[in-house]
Amino acid sequence: MDKKYVDYMVEQAQKLLAIHSPTGYNQEVQQYLREELGRIGYPETTGPRRGGVACCLGGEGDPITLTAHADTLGAMVRAIKDNGTLMITPIGGLNPNNAETSNVEIITKFNGSYSGTIQVENASTHVNPHVNDPRSFDENIEVVIDEDVHSVEDVLALGIETGDFVCLDPRTVVTKSGYIKSRFLDDKACCAILLAYAKYVKDEKVQLPRQVWVQFSVYEEIGTGGATLIPRDAHDIIAVDMGCVGELQAGTERKVSLCAKDSKGPYSYELLKELALACKENGVDYAVDTYYRYGSDVEGSLVAGYDARHMTMGPGVYASHGYERTHISALEQTFQCIRFYLEK
Protein backbone atom coordinates (compact mmCIF):
# COMPACT_ATOMS: atom_id res chain seq x y z
CA MET A 1 0.00 0.00 0.00
CA ASP A 2 1.31 3.46 -0.93
CA LYS A 3 2.83 5.05 2.18
CA LYS A 4 1.24 8.42 1.43
CA TYR A 5 -2.22 6.99 2.03
CA VAL A 6 -1.10 5.25 5.23
CA ASP A 7 0.38 8.52 6.50
CA TYR A 8 -2.78 10.36 5.49
CA MET A 9 -4.98 7.90 7.41
CA VAL A 10 -2.94 8.31 10.58
CA GLU A 11 -2.88 12.10 10.20
CA GLN A 12 -6.64 12.27 9.69
CA ALA A 13 -7.28 9.95 12.63
CA GLN A 14 -5.26 12.26 14.87
CA LYS A 15 -7.06 15.37 13.61
CA LEU A 16 -10.50 13.83 13.98
CA LEU A 17 -9.74 12.49 17.45
CA ALA A 18 -8.77 16.02 18.54
CA ILE A 19 -12.27 17.31 17.66
CA HIS A 20 -14.85 16.84 20.41
CA SER A 21 -17.97 15.14 19.03
CA PRO A 22 -20.05 13.27 21.61
CA THR A 23 -23.38 12.24 20.12
CA GLY A 24 -25.49 15.37 19.71
CA TYR A 25 -22.53 17.78 19.53
CA ASN A 26 -21.66 17.43 15.88
CA GLN A 27 -21.16 20.86 14.30
CA GLU A 28 -17.35 21.02 14.51
CA VAL A 29 -16.63 17.51 13.24
CA GLN A 30 -19.15 17.89 10.40
CA GLN A 31 -17.53 21.14 9.30
CA TYR A 32 -14.11 19.51 9.34
CA LEU A 33 -15.29 16.54 7.27
CA ARG A 34 -16.96 18.79 4.70
CA GLU A 35 -13.84 20.92 4.40
CA GLU A 36 -11.50 17.93 4.14
CA LEU A 37 -13.64 16.29 1.47
CA GLY A 38 -13.51 19.58 -0.42
CA ARG A 39 -9.73 19.76 -0.09
CA ILE A 40 -9.27 16.33 -1.62
CA GLY A 41 -11.63 17.06 -4.50
CA TYR A 42 -15.23 16.50 -3.39
CA PRO A 43 -16.83 19.92 -2.88
CA GLU A 44 -20.40 18.60 -3.17
CA THR A 45 -21.55 17.00 0.07
CA THR A 46 -24.98 16.46 1.54
CA GLY A 47 -26.26 16.38 5.08
CA PRO A 48 -29.72 16.10 6.69
CA ARG A 49 -31.06 18.46 9.33
CA ARG A 50 -30.29 15.96 12.08
CA GLY A 51 -26.61 15.90 11.13
CA GLY A 52 -24.05 13.90 9.21
CA VAL A 53 -22.09 14.24 5.97
CA ALA A 54 -22.36 12.19 2.77
CA CYS A 55 -20.47 12.32 -0.51
CA CYS A 56 -20.58 10.40 -3.80
CA LEU A 57 -17.14 9.23 -4.96
CA GLY A 58 -18.35 8.43 -8.48
CA GLY A 59 -19.38 5.41 -10.49
CA GLU A 60 -22.78 4.48 -11.89
CA GLY A 61 -25.42 1.91 -11.00
CA ASP A 62 -25.78 -0.62 -8.18
CA PRO A 63 -25.18 1.98 -5.40
CA ILE A 64 -23.22 1.03 -2.29
CA THR A 65 -22.80 3.13 0.86
CA LEU A 66 -19.84 2.87 3.21
CA THR A 67 -20.74 4.45 6.54
CA ALA A 68 -18.54 5.34 9.51
CA HIS A 69 -19.64 7.32 12.53
CA ALA A 70 -17.99 10.51 13.71
CA ASP A 71 -19.88 10.70 17.00
CA THR A 72 -18.34 9.38 20.20
CA LEU A 73 -19.18 8.54 23.77
CA GLY A 74 -19.32 11.43 26.22
CA ALA A 75 -21.49 12.93 28.91
CA MET A 76 -23.82 15.80 29.71
CA VAL A 77 -24.36 17.83 32.86
CA ARG A 78 -27.25 16.25 34.75
CA ALA A 79 -27.22 18.47 37.82
CA ILE A 80 -25.04 20.92 39.74
CA LYS A 81 -24.29 19.63 43.22
CA ASP A 82 -24.32 21.74 46.36
CA ASN A 83 -20.51 21.66 46.64
CA GLY A 84 -19.95 23.01 43.10
CA THR A 85 -19.18 19.71 41.38
CA LEU A 86 -21.22 18.31 38.50
CA MET A 87 -23.34 15.20 38.34
CA ILE A 88 -23.21 13.84 34.78
CA THR A 89 -25.32 11.53 32.65
CA PRO A 90 -23.46 9.35 30.13
CA ILE A 91 -23.94 9.61 26.37
CA GLY A 92 -23.75 6.16 24.80
CA GLY A 93 -21.95 3.38 26.64
CA LEU A 94 -19.50 5.49 28.65
CA ASN A 95 -18.18 3.33 31.50
CA PRO A 96 -17.81 5.07 34.90
CA ASN A 97 -14.93 2.77 35.84
CA ASN A 98 -12.66 3.78 32.99
CA ALA A 99 -13.97 7.34 32.68
CA GLU A 100 -12.73 8.18 36.17
CA THR A 101 -9.69 10.52 36.22
CA SER A 102 -10.33 11.61 32.63
CA ASN A 103 -9.67 15.25 31.92
CA VAL A 104 -12.70 16.87 30.32
CA GLU A 105 -13.88 20.02 28.59
CA ILE A 106 -17.27 21.35 29.70
CA ILE A 107 -18.85 23.16 26.74
CA THR A 108 -21.43 25.72 27.81
CA LYS A 109 -24.25 27.00 25.65
CA PHE A 110 -23.24 30.68 25.76
CA ASN A 111 -20.09 31.13 27.90
CA GLY A 112 -17.32 29.17 26.21
CA SER A 113 -15.78 26.12 27.83
CA TYR A 114 -14.08 25.08 31.08
CA SER A 115 -11.72 22.26 31.99
CA GLY A 116 -12.33 19.70 34.68
CA THR A 117 -11.75 16.10 35.75
CA ILE A 118 -14.06 13.12 36.26
CA GLN A 119 -13.47 11.80 39.78
CA VAL A 120 -15.08 9.59 42.36
CA GLU A 121 -16.64 11.62 45.18
CA ASN A 122 -14.20 12.58 47.95
CA ALA A 123 -11.39 11.11 45.84
CA SER A 124 -8.48 11.37 48.28
CA THR A 125 -7.49 7.88 49.42
CA HIS A 126 -6.02 9.23 52.65
CA VAL A 127 -9.34 10.67 53.86
CA ASN A 128 -11.99 8.42 52.33
CA PRO A 129 -12.25 4.80 53.55
CA HIS A 130 -14.88 4.13 50.83
CA VAL A 131 -12.80 5.37 47.90
CA ASN A 132 -12.83 1.91 46.29
CA ASP A 133 -16.60 1.45 46.34
CA PRO A 134 -18.17 0.50 42.94
CA ARG A 135 -18.39 3.45 40.55
CA SER A 136 -21.76 4.76 39.37
CA PHE A 137 -22.79 7.90 37.48
CA ASP A 138 -25.96 7.84 39.57
CA GLU A 139 -24.24 7.70 42.92
CA ASN A 140 -20.58 8.68 43.26
CA ILE A 141 -18.99 9.92 40.03
CA GLU A 142 -18.71 13.67 39.52
CA VAL A 143 -16.84 16.32 37.55
CA VAL A 144 -14.54 18.60 39.51
CA ILE A 145 -14.37 21.95 37.69
CA ASP A 146 -10.99 23.69 37.42
CA GLU A 147 -12.37 26.93 38.83
CA ASP A 148 -12.83 28.32 42.33
CA VAL A 149 -16.39 27.10 42.81
CA HIS A 150 -18.02 25.80 46.00
CA SER A 151 -21.77 26.09 45.42
CA VAL A 152 -24.51 25.87 42.82
CA GLU A 153 -24.48 29.65 42.51
CA ASP A 154 -20.73 29.72 41.81
CA VAL A 155 -21.14 27.24 38.96
CA LEU A 156 -24.14 29.01 37.44
CA ALA A 157 -22.15 32.26 37.48
CA LEU A 158 -19.66 30.61 35.10
CA GLY A 159 -22.49 29.88 32.67
CA ILE A 160 -22.42 26.11 33.25
CA GLU A 161 -25.92 24.64 33.21
CA THR A 162 -27.78 21.34 32.95
CA GLY A 163 -27.57 20.01 29.41
CA ASP A 164 -24.05 21.24 28.71
CA PHE A 165 -21.76 18.72 27.03
CA VAL A 166 -18.86 17.10 28.90
CA CYS A 167 -16.16 15.93 26.45
CA LEU A 168 -13.37 13.56 27.45
CA ASP A 169 -9.73 14.06 26.47
CA PRO A 170 -8.96 11.26 23.95
CA ARG A 171 -5.28 11.03 25.04
CA THR A 172 -4.15 10.07 21.53
CA VAL A 173 -0.70 8.48 21.15
CA VAL A 174 0.93 6.91 18.08
CA THR A 175 3.85 4.71 19.13
CA LYS A 176 7.07 4.06 17.21
CA SER A 177 5.93 0.45 16.80
CA GLY A 178 2.78 1.53 14.98
CA TYR A 179 0.15 1.23 17.70
CA ILE A 180 -2.51 3.92 17.94
CA LYS A 181 -3.86 4.42 21.46
CA SER A 182 -6.80 6.71 22.10
CA ARG A 183 -10.34 7.02 23.25
CA PHE A 184 -12.82 7.05 20.37
CA LEU A 185 -10.91 5.01 17.80
CA ASP A 186 -14.47 3.70 17.62
CA ASP A 187 -15.09 5.10 15.13
CA LYS A 188 -12.80 7.93 14.09
CA ALA A 189 -10.16 5.48 12.89
CA CYS A 190 -12.70 4.31 10.32
CA CYS A 191 -13.66 7.87 9.36
CA ALA A 192 -9.97 8.35 8.56
CA ILE A 193 -9.97 5.17 6.45
CA LEU A 194 -12.93 6.40 4.39
CA LEU A 195 -11.29 9.79 3.87
CA ALA A 196 -8.12 8.02 2.70
CA TYR A 197 -10.09 5.86 0.28
CA ALA A 198 -11.86 8.95 -1.08
CA LYS A 199 -8.47 10.62 -1.57
CA TYR A 200 -7.08 7.51 -3.27
CA VAL A 201 -10.02 7.38 -5.72
CA LYS A 202 -9.52 11.05 -6.62
CA ASP A 203 -5.71 11.05 -6.75
CA GLU A 204 -5.42 7.83 -8.76
CA LYS A 205 -8.41 8.65 -11.00
CA VAL A 206 -9.98 5.28 -10.16
CA GLN A 207 -12.87 4.30 -12.43
CA LEU A 208 -15.35 2.79 -10.00
CA PRO A 209 -17.44 -0.05 -11.46
CA ARG A 210 -20.48 0.99 -9.39
CA GLN A 211 -21.75 4.10 -7.63
CA VAL A 212 -19.97 4.51 -4.28
CA TRP A 213 -21.08 6.76 -1.43
CA VAL A 214 -19.27 7.48 1.82
CA GLN A 215 -21.32 8.59 4.79
CA PHE A 216 -20.22 9.97 8.18
CA SER A 217 -23.04 9.63 10.70
CA VAL A 218 -23.31 11.41 14.04
CA TYR A 219 -25.85 9.37 16.02
CA GLU A 220 -24.43 5.83 15.93
CA GLU A 221 -23.62 5.62 19.63
CA ILE A 222 -27.33 5.86 20.44
CA GLY A 223 -28.41 3.55 17.61
CA THR A 224 -29.94 5.83 14.96
CA GLY A 225 -26.98 6.94 12.85
CA GLY A 226 -27.90 4.92 9.77
CA ALA A 227 -31.54 6.05 9.70
CA THR A 228 -30.94 8.96 7.29
CA LEU A 229 -28.50 10.18 4.63
CA ILE A 230 -28.08 6.85 2.81
CA PRO A 231 -29.45 6.93 -0.77
CA ARG A 232 -32.80 5.15 -0.90
CA ASP A 233 -31.70 3.05 -3.88
CA ALA A 234 -28.61 1.68 -2.12
CA HIS A 235 -28.14 -2.01 -2.95
CA ASP A 236 -25.52 -2.56 -0.25
CA ILE A 237 -24.71 -0.78 3.03
CA ILE A 238 -21.44 -1.52 4.81
CA ALA A 239 -20.77 -0.07 8.24
CA VAL A 240 -17.04 0.51 8.53
CA ASP A 241 -16.73 0.25 12.28
CA MET A 242 -14.35 -1.20 14.83
CA GLY A 243 -13.73 -4.93 15.00
CA CYS A 244 -13.89 -6.47 18.48
CA VAL A 245 -10.63 -7.81 19.94
CA GLY A 246 -10.72 -9.97 23.06
CA GLU A 247 -11.31 -13.43 24.49
CA LEU A 248 -12.78 -15.93 21.98
CA GLN A 249 -12.40 -13.44 19.10
CA ALA A 250 -10.31 -14.28 16.03
CA GLY A 251 -9.75 -10.60 15.18
CA THR A 252 -6.58 -8.80 16.23
CA GLU A 253 -5.29 -5.23 16.28
CA ARG A 254 -3.43 -5.94 13.02
CA LYS A 255 -6.28 -7.37 10.92
CA VAL A 256 -9.50 -6.25 9.30
CA SER A 257 -12.45 -7.92 11.02
CA LEU A 258 -15.54 -9.06 9.13
CA CYS A 259 -18.62 -9.43 11.31
CA ALA A 260 -20.95 -12.34 10.53
CA LYS A 261 -23.47 -11.66 13.34
CA ASP A 262 -23.96 -9.15 16.13
CA SER A 263 -26.42 -8.80 19.02
CA LYS A 264 -29.35 -8.24 16.63
CA GLY A 265 -28.66 -11.18 14.33
CA PRO A 266 -26.77 -12.23 11.19
CA TYR A 267 -25.54 -9.84 8.54
CA SER A 268 -25.81 -10.56 4.81
CA TYR A 269 -24.13 -13.92 4.25
CA GLU A 270 -23.62 -13.19 0.54
CA LEU A 271 -21.93 -9.86 1.25
CA LEU A 272 -19.76 -11.46 3.92
CA LYS A 273 -18.57 -14.08 1.45
CA GLU A 274 -17.81 -11.45 -1.19
CA LEU A 275 -15.69 -9.40 1.22
CA ALA A 276 -13.89 -12.50 2.51
CA LEU A 277 -13.15 -13.60 -1.06
CA ALA A 278 -11.74 -10.17 -1.92
CA CYS A 279 -9.43 -10.52 1.08
CA LYS A 280 -8.38 -14.09 0.23
CA GLU A 281 -7.65 -13.33 -3.41
CA ASN A 282 -5.55 -10.25 -2.63
CA GLY A 283 -3.62 -11.30 0.47
CA VAL A 284 -5.51 -9.07 2.90
CA ASP A 285 -5.11 -10.22 6.52
CA TYR A 286 -8.64 -10.69 7.83
CA ALA A 287 -10.70 -12.52 10.44
CA VAL A 288 -14.39 -13.39 10.66
CA ASP A 289 -16.08 -13.02 14.05
CA THR A 290 -19.45 -12.73 15.75
CA TYR A 291 -20.11 -9.95 18.27
CA TYR A 292 -22.75 -10.63 20.89
CA ARG A 293 -22.57 -7.17 22.55
CA TYR A 294 -22.48 -4.99 19.45
CA GLY A 295 -24.62 -2.96 17.07
CA SER A 296 -23.90 -0.73 14.08
CA ASP A 297 -25.34 1.87 11.72
CA VAL A 298 -26.59 -0.76 9.27
CA GLU A 299 -29.15 -1.90 11.83
CA GLY A 300 -30.45 1.65 12.05
CA SER A 301 -30.78 1.69 8.27
CA LEU A 302 -32.77 -1.55 8.23
CA VAL A 303 -35.13 -0.32 10.94
CA ALA A 304 -35.56 2.88 8.91
CA GLY A 305 -36.78 0.77 6.00
CA TYR A 306 -33.80 0.52 3.66
CA ASP A 307 -33.97 -2.57 1.44
CA ALA A 308 -30.28 -3.43 1.10
CA ARG A 309 -27.73 -6.11 1.87
CA HIS A 310 -25.91 -5.15 5.05
CA MET A 311 -22.54 -5.81 6.62
CA THR A 312 -20.07 -4.51 9.21
CA MET A 313 -16.29 -4.61 8.90
CA GLY A 314 -13.32 -2.64 10.21
CA PRO A 315 -9.96 -2.61 11.97
CA GLY A 316 -9.54 -4.66 15.12
CA VAL A 317 -9.72 -2.47 18.24
CA TYR A 318 -8.86 -3.60 21.77
CA ALA A 319 -10.50 -2.22 24.94
CA SER A 320 -13.60 -0.91 23.17
CA HIS A 321 -15.47 1.94 24.89
CA GLY A 322 -12.38 2.51 27.03
CA TYR A 323 -8.83 3.63 26.28
CA GLU A 324 -8.72 1.82 22.97
CA ARG A 325 -5.81 0.50 20.90
CA THR A 326 -5.30 -0.59 17.32
CA HIS A 327 -2.35 -0.82 14.94
CA ILE A 328 -1.65 1.04 11.72
CA SER A 329 -1.61 -2.30 9.91
CA ALA A 330 -5.30 -2.84 10.79
CA LEU A 331 -6.13 0.47 9.12
CA GLU A 332 -4.14 -0.64 6.06
CA GLN A 333 -5.88 -4.03 5.89
CA THR A 334 -9.29 -2.37 6.15
CA PHE A 335 -8.42 0.10 3.38
CA GLN A 336 -7.22 -2.74 1.18
CA CYS A 337 -10.33 -4.83 1.83
CA ILE A 338 -12.52 -1.90 0.74
CA ARG A 339 -10.32 -1.17 -2.27
CA PHE A 340 -10.19 -4.71 -3.62
CA TYR A 341 -13.87 -5.34 -3.00
CA LEU A 342 -15.08 -2.15 -4.70
CA GLU A 343 -12.72 -2.40 -7.66
CA LYS A 344 -13.20 -6.07 -8.48
The contacts found for 332-336 with CB under 8 angstroms, 24 or more apart, are 332/1, 332/6, 332/9, 333/254, 333/255, 333/256, 333/284, 333/285, 333/286, 334/190, 334/193, 334/240, 334/256, 335/1, 335/5, 335/9, 335/193, 335/196, 335/197, 335/200, 336/1, 336/256, 336/282, 336/284
Per DSSP, 153 falls in state H
Angle formed by the axes of helices 269-282 and 328-342, nearest 10°:
110
In terms of Cβ atoms closer than 10 Å to its own Cβ (0-12, 13-18, 19+), residue 207 is exposed
Catalytic residue among 220, 221, 299, 324: 220
Check if 35 is active-site.
no
Distance CA 318, CA 242 (A): 9
Decide if 182 contacts 173 (C-beta within 8 A): yes
**Selection from 221, 171, 318 nearest residue 21 by Cα:** 221
Cis upstream peptide for 187 (omega within 30°): yes
Q: Which residues of 40-61 are buried (b: 16+ CB within 10 A; e: fewer)?
A: bebeebebeeebbbbbbbbbee
Residue 117: C-alpha distances to residues 85, 127, 144, 168 (Å):
10, 19, 5, 9
| Bridge partner list, 326 | 180
List, by residue number, the catalytic residues.
220
